[in-house]
Structure 1
């Protein structure tokens, strides 16, 4: 039997669900809501992603995560953001003000 591959979008939803967020469809992205916080989550490149919301999360494969983070640092968007780097055995969070934070 071959390996089963999970789409990046499904992995992103699983990460936020496991963190206790309620996940809701929002066009080509989704919203992750918990308590007072609403995070707009996308797997699109920053240049192609919608710009609404004060908190944005870009979910990407590990080999692209640093590039996505650097693009966002260069553009300096007017919203708070993070990049989730999905790896073979989990994920890491890359935030603009820190290097790499371990996943909870």
Structure 2
């Protein structure tokens, strides 16, 4: 079982490094940059709270917390694109993408 009280910070950094992102900043929240894209990454020990701001956000949490986190973010209906990465103690991970953005209809 993963150490659920400790955020998967090392695993999050490793995932983004292996995807070719430059990892910037320290701590449980960092920026991952590749080409024109910059993603704010938050490593969370539990289902956590979704920030109110952002453009591209990714939340990395332990597998056993991922479903609750995804539901909490979806229910908060943030104005940014987001994804949840569920990681296990061996470093294997699965990406759960956010639902598509709502199209703005001109009136």
Question: Contact 1:31–1:41 at 8 Å: present in 2 too?
Answer: yes
C-alpha separation in 2, matches of 1:11 and 1:41: 12
Q: TM-score, normalised by structure 1?
A: 0.77
* Rg comparison, structure with higher value: 2
Q: Which runs of 5+ in 1 are unaligned?
A: 99-104
- In the TM superposition, what whole-angstrom CA distance separates every residue of 1:31-53 from its partner, at most 9, and x where no partner exists? 00001110000013542x54443
Q: Which residue of 2 aligns with 1:81?
A: 82
C-alpha separation in 2, matches of 1:51 and 1:31: 17
Q: Which runs of 5+ in 2 are unaligned?
A: 101-107
Q: How far off its partner does 1:7 sit?
A: 6.1
What is the root-mean-square deviation of aligned Cα atoms in Å? 2.4
- Higher strand residue share: 1
Segments of 4+ in structure 1 off by > 3 A? Answer: 49-52
Structure ranking higher on relative contact order (CA contacts 8 Å, 6+ apart): 2
1:18 lines up with 2:18 in the alignment: yes
Q: TM-score, normalised by structure 2?
A: 0.75
